[in-house]
Amino acid sequence: MRIICNKSELQKNVNIAAKAVALKSPVYILEGIRIEAKNNLVTLYGSDGTLSIKCINNANIIEEGDVVLPARLFCELLAKFEECDLSIYTEGSNVVLECGHSKTTLCYMSAEQYPAFPLFDAVDGITLYSKQLVSMIDQTAFATSASEEKPILTGLLMELGGISFKMVALDGYRLAIRKETLMSEQEEKEVVVPSKSMREVARIIPEDETTIKIYIRENMVSIVCDNVEIVTRVLQGDYVKYKNILPNEFMTRAIVSRQSLYSSLERASIMARQSKTNLVNLEIDGGNMTITSDSEVGKAREEVDIKLTGKNLSIAFNARYLLDVLKEVVDEEIVLDFNTNISPCVIHPVSGEGYLYLVLPVKTSHS
């Protein structure tokens, strides 16, 4: 193999492919990035068995070849090279990286043992702006379960049907649903993808109006964005029938400024965190919501203006479950819908049906 390519472009693409590579793996080749120079194209591959990434990189190919280099070391080296046209060539059992007066030699591994990139037909894809997918992931992934007790809850449900594309996460205490409207009708489909894979996707694709394609198959989901293809395997098992959990009506509705509520909860949560329960109390009374928290070292009391419809209410929550969602909502005003102090609270922006978050209250001695 002998190729010449722009150092910065290669660095960018190697860093993308490396996101699918495990830092440490019992199988050494899985710590590597595959570089394939063939048919006038250089393709970079990274994979950990669950997530696979493929990047096309421009290069002048003098001699074709196919090698695997240790990912971490390769990234580190590229970060330290100055901007240049980097020569990469094999020499015996080594790959040489040469740039100006710098010459680094790395043992390479044979590409034969490297996991094959999953094949998929690029047909029947759904089209989105990449920023739409990033927002769908950001607004749901935090609500997936961190525990492997019920593996299916560590995943994000992707639900397709008609012109609706939904992403759903739940962990037993809260539920996040994010919906986008598509340009064209789609068949009904449901898959659950690892939340970890989707978080990597959100880090890789740009938060702008780049058009991306998503291909949802029974056993994998593929995302194509410019020169990058990302494929993740899906989780097996039945997802929770979450629609049954959503209440149809409410007794109390509070409309509140997202920023005010977030700041007040942040302060109250500092005290809440001092006790193990991490509890904040919300006291809704007329046009006012009083947030209190209590611990051995001190207590907090915050007041937030609200627009109230319905009955007054006193209810308690784990502070983190409220902060998590308020951090991700972008709207200025949000709605909090309640029934009783032992039934779920539903949070959504004032405008639009694109986002919905449900959180269970904590039962206290007063509940």
Of 103, 131, 114, residue with least CA distance to 54: 114
Please identify which residue in the block is written with the tokens 């196919």: 66
Q: Whole-angstrom Cα distance, residue 334 to residue 256? A: 6
**C-beta closer to a copy of itself: residue 212 or 291:** 291
**C-beta closer to a copy of itself: residue 138 or 266:** 266
**C-beta closer to a copy of itself: residue 82 or 124:** 82
Q: How far is CA 322 from CA 40, 262, 297, 328, in A?
A: 52, 8, 23, 10
Provide the CB-side half-sphere exposure for 119 (13 A, CA). Answer: 1
Please identify which residue in the block is written with the tokens 């209190």: 292
Instruction: Provide the token pair at 210.
Output: 């780049």
How far apart are CB 355 and a copy of itself at their closest, in Å?
Answer: 25
How far apart are CB 366 and a copy of itself at their closest, in Å?
Answer: 20
Q: Whole-angstrom Cα distance, residue 176 to residue 179? A: 10
**C-beta closer to a copy of itself: residue 199 or 301:** 301
How far apart are CB 344 and a copy of itself at their closest, in Å?
Answer: 27
**C-beta closer to a copy of itself: residue 166 or 267:** 267
Report whether 68 contacts 34 (CB < 8 A). Answer: yes
How far apart are CB 80 and a copy of itself at their closest, in Å?
Answer: 5
Q: Whole-angstrom Cα distance, residue 149 to residue 335? A: 33
Q: How far is CA 39 from CA 30, 53, 191, 297, in A?
A: 25, 20, 35, 68
Amino acid identity for residue 142 in this structure: F
- What is the C-alpha end-to-end distance of the chain, expressed in Å? 70
Residues that bind a copy of itself (CB under 8 A): 70, 73, 76-77, 80-82, 94, 101-107, 263-264, 266-267, 270-271, 274, 296-304
How far apart are CB 215 and a copy of itself at their closest, in Å?
Answer: 37
**C-beta closer to a copy of itself: residue 266 or 331:** 266
Report whether 20 contacts 108 (CB < 8 A). Answer: no
**C-beta closer to a copy of itself: residue 277 or 295:** 295
How far apart are CB 327 and a copy of itself at their closest, in Å?
Answer: 14
Q: Whole-angstrom Cα distance, residue 345 to residue 354? A: 17
How far apart are CB 71 and a copy of itself at their closest, in Å?
Answer: 12
Would strands 333-338 and 252-257 be described as parallel, antiparallel, or unpaired?
Answer: antiparallel
CB atoms within 10 A of CB 287: 11
**C-beta closer to a copy of itself: residue 136 or 323:** 323
How far apart are CB 265 and a copy of itself at their closest, in Å?
Answer: 10
